[in-house]
Structure 1
Amino acid sequence: MAARSRPDPADVAACRRLLQAGSRSFFAASLLLPASVREPATVLYAFCRVADDAVDLSPNSATAIARLHARLDGIFAGTPDEDPVDRALAIVVRVHDLPRSVFDALIEGLAWDVGGRTYETFSDLIAYCARVAGTVGTLMTLLMGRRDPRVLARACDLGVAMQLTNIARDVGEDARAGRIYLPLDWMAEAGLSPAAFLADPRFDRRIAGLVERLLAEADRLYRRSQSGIGALPGGCRPAIHAARLIYQEIGILLAARGYDSIAQRSVVPQGRKLALVGRALLDAGFASGPTRQKALAEVQFLIDAVRPEGGEGLMADQGLDRLMDIFERLAREPGSARTGRVLRPRRGRTRASRLTATA
């Protein structure tokens, strides 16, 4: 019997329901993607969501991590568990030639989260962001049919920038959950004691300076990432550009509030999201290609894992004749600032999961 070239529609539907329930922002944004990319992307994000929940909700994180590796063994051997997400992902990884090591890196990032790891330097923090966000950027780029190392480097720039934005936004929330993602050497330079801050997380000019510094690094990477969007298939550009603009807007809101991410959580209003989506749709025709800037050293291992040949991921560009329908669906999305996990997780929720929730 010939190998399937697409997952079973029932399995994809199960993945879609999972995301509708817990990652509604991704589900809404996926409406901007061509159908040929939207389906495998839904499967990929469903696995990321399942993996994060498996680690987050397990009483024994080490066992949960081991179980995820075992599931990947079956997926990459073509003998997945009898689970719709695993069955669908087994086909997606084969058809699109997705590297196993990138998935392993994602799971490593989840393990770092539940292990309470802290990050001494900014480079250490970027290494974490590479695992929980650069991995997703790499895999999504492969689903869109691009394997050029320069395009992958810019995709990693975007993923890391988004994760840095998450961290800047959630300094207070993370501290109240007993977690610090700010580089410890930055805190020392500012005269902040991590232990004292965790015991009593309060906003002051020192925290403002660290949040501003983190967002400046994110903005640098957002600027680098823009050139890579022009190298994506035309039908894929609006969704990726919209995500970039919406996440950057979080930083703009934080700056307007004096970089206070302790007292409240900055959330992009639904109306503003729609405006940014409209801007993305108008801007997405830019034809710039990826720059020759080197990849971040901390993400190079992800790019090295990708074979330049293989994969059936190059999807034909689609027109934007569905725009009105997309806008209507986005407008109907519940105005709740955060739906699901990859946003304001309950105490103990891993940060990695937050890239599958709302901005």
Structure 2
Amino acid sequence: MPVFVPDPSTVCTSAGADDLAACRAAIRAGSKSFFAASMLLPPRVRSSAYGLYAFCRLSDDAVDETGGDRAAALARLERRLTAALAGRPANHPADRALAEVLARHAIPEALPRALLEGFAWDIEGRRYDTLSDLAAYAARVAGAVGAMMTLVMGVRDADALARACGLGVAMQFTNIARDVGEDARTGRLYLPRDWLDAAGLDADAFLSEPRLSPGLKRVVADLLTAADGLYARAEPGIAALPLSCRPAIRAAGTIYAQIGRAVEENGLDSITRRARVSGAHKAGLLARAALPKRRASGLSAPPLPETAFLVEAVMHHPIPAARRPPPWWDVSGQVVRVLDLIEVLEERDAFRRSAPS
């Protein structure tokens, strides 16, 4: 698989060490699962991943704030993205880091725009009649991030991008299954309307009083099943990534899939309980993700119809001439980092258990 290596002369260099440190702090606070998986990335990829995630986190937080004008917040984000794309980012670490990432990795405008379009759908309070409609939303808020991460790792192959977008959709389905009650209490409902109808659930009545029921359990279980199918479809795409990047992406997918298992262990109760994966369990998953895997078949399967526009945007985006890729990363070094991370996570869990409540 050829790896795209950017020409340094085309790269925006406005983001400094302090900006990258701020982005790293944002990801550590915003997503413990993503941060843990990112520890397996080689440093050259990890710094770009932090910059990309920091803007995603900033965008999500800006439009999620209650009590403010969310439409105005989104409009400001649109302007900030436009400035970053033009190489004139706003005076904020996430903006400067994003501008560098977009230029360094030749990321087409359609991908970050898709992310903000998904946020716009949230602001509208859009509901989704079918699983396909929900997948279209997930393609924007998560599939686009998967595509951008693939470009950050230097891969522009259409099949690999299709699998990455599908992995993003799977992760978003898992998030939705886990957060049904939390979303409902803020007036949001993502579960497909036709599934709710088949389960005898009225969407408006559920939002007014979110309650666990056998019908809701079936809907959550079906959404987790759909996610599991997409996790399996994503595996061949992970094998198409540079060897140095596979453990981190496999770890991210495995940890999110395990969240689905935790939902099941909670009796499919996403109303009164929040599924969690312990630090020690994550550490074990990270360790297994670093082990070599047999290449899976199915890389050339077509993209999900809902994510095809993301793949096409990359395929039609001009890039500088590809240069010779660097050597593969030392996998033994990955394992050492995993073992260090296991120790840190286990110590943190032990501290939490011993701390007074």
TM-score of the superposition, structure 2-length normalised?
0.87
Judge conservation of contact 2:143–2:169 (CA < 8 Å) in 1.
Answer: yes
Aligned residues: 335
Judge conservation of contact 1:147–1:306 (CA < 8 Å) in 2.
Answer: yes
Q: CA deviation at 1:60?
A: 1.1
Q: CA deviation at 1:33?
A: 0.1
Whether 1:301 and 2:312 are equivalent positions in the alignment is no
Matched residue, 2:140: 131
Q: CA deviation at 1:261?
A: 1.7
Matched residue, 1:76: 85
Whether 1:106 and 2:118 are equivalent positions in the alignment is no
Matched residue, 1:262: 271
Of 121-130 and 313-322, deviating more is 313-322
Report the CA distance shift for 1:230/1:2 in structure 2 as closer, same or farther (over 3 A): closer
Whether 1:279 and 2:291 are equivalent positions in the alignment is no
Letter of the 2:341 counterpart? R
Judge conservation of contact 2:266–2:273 (CA < 8 Å) in 1.
Answer: no
Matched residue, 1:191: 200
Judge conservation of contact 2:280–2:342 (CA < 8 Å) in 1.
Answer: no
Deviations 1:174-226 (A, max 9, x none): 22222111011111111111111112222121111111111111111111001
The CA RMSD over aligned residues, in Å, is: 2.2
Judge conservation of contact 2:251–2:285 (CA < 8 Å) in 1.
Answer: yes
Matched residue, 1:235: 244
Residue 160 of structure 1, aligned match among 160, 163, 169: 169
Deviations 1:7-50 (A, max 9, x none): 42232122223323333433332110011100111100011111
Judge conservation of contact 1:47–1:85 (CA < 8 Å) in 2.
Answer: yes
Residue 335 of structure 2, aligned match among 323, 331, 349: 323
3-state DSSP of counterpart to 1:235? coil
Letter of the 1:220 counterpart? G
Report the CA distance shift for 1:235/1:262 in structure 2 as closer, same or farther (over 3 A): same
3-state DSSP of counterpart to 1:18? helix
After the TM superposition, which segments of 4 or more aligned residues of structure 1 sit over 6 Å from their partners? Answer: none
3-state DSSP of counterpart to 2:307? helix
Of 147-156 and 326-335, deviating more is 326-335
Of 21-30 and 299-308, deviating more is 21-30
3-state DSSP of counterpart to 1:260? coil
Distance 2:17 2:269 in 1: 45
Distance 2:37 2:126 in 1: 31
Report the CA distance shift for 1:233/1:322 in structure 2 as closer, same or farther (over 3 A): closer
Judge conservation of contact 1:130–1:299 (CA < 8 Å) in 2.
Answer: yes
Letter of the 1:32 counterpart? L
Of 90-99 and 246-255, deviating more is 246-255
Matched residue, 1:37: 45
Of 214-223 and 244-253, deviating more is 244-253
Report the CA distance shift for 1:4/1:155 in structure 2 as closer, same or farther (over 3 A): closer
Report the CA distance shift for 1:322/1:230 in structure 2 as closer, same or farther (over 3 A): closer
Of 141-150 and 5-14, deviating more is 5-14
Distance 2:141 2:24 in 1: 21
Report the CA distance shift for 1:113/1:229 in structure 2 as closer, same or farther (over 3 A): same
Q: CA deviation at 1:315?
A: 6.0
Residue 224 of structure 2, aligned match among 188, 211, 215: 215
Q: CA deviation at 1:82?
A: 2.1
Q: How does 1:171-186 map to 2 (within 5 A)?
A: 171-186=180-195
Report the CA distance shift for 1:160/1:335 in structure 2 as closer, same or farther (over 3 A): farther
Distance 2:342 2:30 in 1: 16
Matched residue, 2:124: 115
3-state DSSP of counterpart to 2:291? helix
Report the CA distance shift for 1:28/1:258 in structure 2 as closer, same or farther (over 3 A): closer
Letter of the 2:143 counterpart? G
Distance 2:76 2:298 in 1: 38
Whether 1:19 and 2:27 are equivalent positions in the alignment is yes
Distance 2:143 2:291 in 1: 26
Judge conservation of contact 2:10–2:103 (CA < 8 Å) in 1.
Answer: no
Matched residue, 2:55: 47
Letter of the 1:139 counterpart? M
Q: CA deviation at 1:290?
A: 5.3
| Structure 2 residue runs without a partner (length 5+) | 1-7, 351-357
| Structure 1 residue runs without a partner (length 5+) | 337-359
3-state DSSP of counterpart to 2:275? coil
Deviations 1:230-261 (A, max 9, x none): 00000100011011111111222222333222
Matched residue, 2:104: 95
Report the CA distance shift for 1:222/1:23 in structure 2 as closer, same or farther (over 3 A): closer
Judge conservation of contact 2:287–2:338 (CA < 8 Å) in 1.
Answer: no
